[in-house]
Structures are given as C-alpha cells and as structure tokens.
Amino acid sequence: MPALLTTWRGAVDHAWVDYNGHLNDAYYLVIFSLSTDALMLHIGLDAAGRAATGHTMYTLEVHLNYLQEVHEGVAVEVRTQVLGLDAKRLHIFNTLHRQDDGVLLATNEQMLSNIDTSDKLAGPKTAPFAPQVAAVLMPLAAAHASMPRPANAGRSIALPVVRK
C-alpha cells in the first residue's frame, strides 16, 4: 500500500484559537493551505520551479469538514492523498491528525489548477503541468489510485427546501 504524503506538521498557535478555546474554523484552512504549499514544493512548484516554468497553482474549490475540536498547543499533521489528475488539474484530499495518537480531526478536499503566469500582458491562464512537474505527479497519482477513497471525498452540502 502506498503511503500518504505528510505535507505539514506543527502545533496549534495561540493566535489561531478562538473564543471557544479551540482552533478557529478559518485556521483549519490556513493549515491545509500550508500543506498545499508543501505539496507544491514536493512536485517542483517551489519558488525555483515557479520561476523556471512560469507556473503556479490556484485553488478552484475547497470542502472542509470539522470532525474534532483542536486546542492550543496540540501537535498536528496533514496527510495528503491525490484523488485525481488530468493535464491541468489536481484533485487532492487532506486529513488533519493529532501527531501523538493519529486521531482524525478534520478533512479537506481541494481542486487545484495549474496556471501559467509567464505572459504578463495576457495575464494568468490555465495550462498543462510542466513536464517535470507532471513527471512527479503522474506516479504519485497512480500510486494513490490504489488507496481507498476517503469517506468524505465528493461530499456536497444541502438541506431540503422548506415550502409553505
């Protein structure tokens, strides 16, 4: 079984804790965003890779599920699974865990798009991943394809419409 990537580790900062005494909802997304930055580094879209290719990634959509309260100072880590990949997009699923016992705290699903920023006149546009980035992503996506699909992946949010 292939391994998930550990894309971020750290402790919940005091500034991230809200009036309820636990990690503020917005800071869950900060942590997941930092893990996406680490994933970009892993696939070659770090500062040097972005400069060399003129490419970066933009987030198109995010789904976040809060499963457990997280308190100040708790050491956490994000594990990332590639769910899908095409020429221009990357579908990932992140899980936030306590480091000491591995308890699942939150999940985050993202659709990312490769963006070519090299044409300053025309502006940013979607583009296929650079060959050196695709060469890292393709085997990673293939390895993760054999893993079970996370239970929260692909969820939507809805309530029935109340009619009078």
Classified by CATH at the fold level, domain 5-145 comes out as Thiol Ester Dehydrase; Chain A (3.10.129)
State whether residue 28 is helix, strand or coil.
helix
Q: Domain residue spans in the chain?
A: 5-145
Q: Which residues pair with 115 in a beta bridge?
A: 56, 126
Q: How confident is the model at residue 76, as a pLDDT?
A: 98
Asked whether the CA dihedral 30, 46, 96, 102 is positive or negative, the reply is: negative
Tokens of 67: 């499963």
- Other Cβ atoms less than 10 A from the Cβ of 59: the count is 13
Give the torsion sign (CA, 47, 52, 54, 59): negative
Which of 1, 15, 4, 14 has the alpha carbon at shortest distance from 96? 4
Q: In 30-52, which positions are buried (b, 16+ CB within 10 angstroms) versus exposed (e)?
A: ebbbebbebbbeebbbeeebbee
Question: Which pTM was predicted?
Answer: 0.94
The number of angstroms, rounded, from the C-alpha of 129 to the middle of its chain's C-alpha atoms is 17
pLDDT in tens, the chain (164 residues): 579 999 999 999 999 999 999 999 999 999 999 999 999 999 999 999 999 999 999 999 999 999 999 999 999 999 999 999 999 999 999 999 999 999 999 999 999 999 999 998 999 999 999 999 999 999 999 999 999 999 999 998 989 888 88
